[in-house]
A and B are shown apart, each in its own frame.
Chain A
Amino acid sequence: GAVVSQHPSRVICKSGTSVKIECRSLDFQATTMFWYRQFPKKSLMLMATSNEGSKATYEQGVEKDKFLINHASLTLSTLTVTSAHPEDSSFYICSAYGAEQYFGPGTRLTVT
């Protein structure tokens, strides 16, 4: 069964609003989680590394003030897309390390 869950699986929001995506490790603790973004027919691109109890590490070109990451517990990381715009529409996937790197089922964000 799934070891990493994401919520919601799909969200549609209006331009200018903020959206929060949750990533949970279900039966293991994860001090590190990763957030990826995937545009249609493109590869997964790492956005940031989420560290429990400390600040996230963002990849070059990813705006930390736009993509807020909070890793408040060993089983939960959240990604908030602030002031979303249509170009933020994408498939957002988180992953966490257990026995191997497990991926969540992804969240499809559509900004209208």
Chain B
Amino acid sequence: RKEVEQDPGPFNVPEGATVAFNCTYSNSASQSFFWYRQDCRKEPKLLMSVYSSGNEDGRFTAQLNRASQYISLLIRDSKLSDSATYLCVVRSGNTGKLIFGQGTTLQVKP
């Protein structure tokens, strides 16, 4: 079983739609959680950290459920520029090692 699992998609949505991505992780000792965005042939870039209380950054909302070992990302009012691959990332312990999910591809169409 993969340590971090995501539905690879692709998710094809029209502009303005709301889309949600889910992620599960297997290691209950995981310490920190993130969503990264990766554009084609580029390095991943931090989109937002994820906290148990849930957090929001503009059109993006992230949620963490430690009991279910489940992470989500909600994107409201999708823009064409949101088209990318979204990576669910988990940090284990204090080593600083980041474990990446396969990524979920989003394509926003006009």
Q: How far is the CB of A49 from chain B (nearest CB, A)?
A: 7
Whether A91 and B41, one on each chain, are in contact in the complex, defined by CB atoms closer than 8 angstroms, is yes
Shortest beta-carbon distance from B23 to chain A in Å: 12
A sample of 16 more A-B contacts (CB under 8 A), given A32-B96, A34-B96, A43-B87, is A34-B98, A36-B100, A43-B101, A43-B102, A44-B87, A46-B97, A46-B98, A46-B99, A49-B96, A93-B44, A97-B96, A101-B98, A103-B43, A105-B42, A105-B43, A108-B41
Size of chain A's interface in residues, with CB distance under 8 A? 21
- State the CA gap A43–B38 with chains docked (Å): 11
- Contact string, A70-86, partner B, CB cutoff 8 A, digits 1/0? 00000000000000000
Interface size class of B (residues with CB under 8 A): 10 to 19
Cβ-defined partner of B44 (8 Å) among A32, A34, A42, A103: A103
Mask for B77-110, Cβ within 8 A of A = 1, else 0? 0000000000100000001111111110000000
B41, B42, B44, B46: the one contacting A44 at CB < 8 Å is B44
Measured CB to CB, the nearest residue on chain B to A100 is B46
The answer to whether A43 and B100 touch across the interface, beta carbons within 8 angstroms, is yes
In the complex, 14 of the A-B residue pairs with CB atoms within 8 angstroms, ordered by the A residue number, are A32-B96, A36-B100, A43-B101, A43-B103, A44-B87, A46-B97, A49-B96, A49-B97, A97-B96, A101-B98, A103-B45, A105-B42, A106-B41, A108-B41
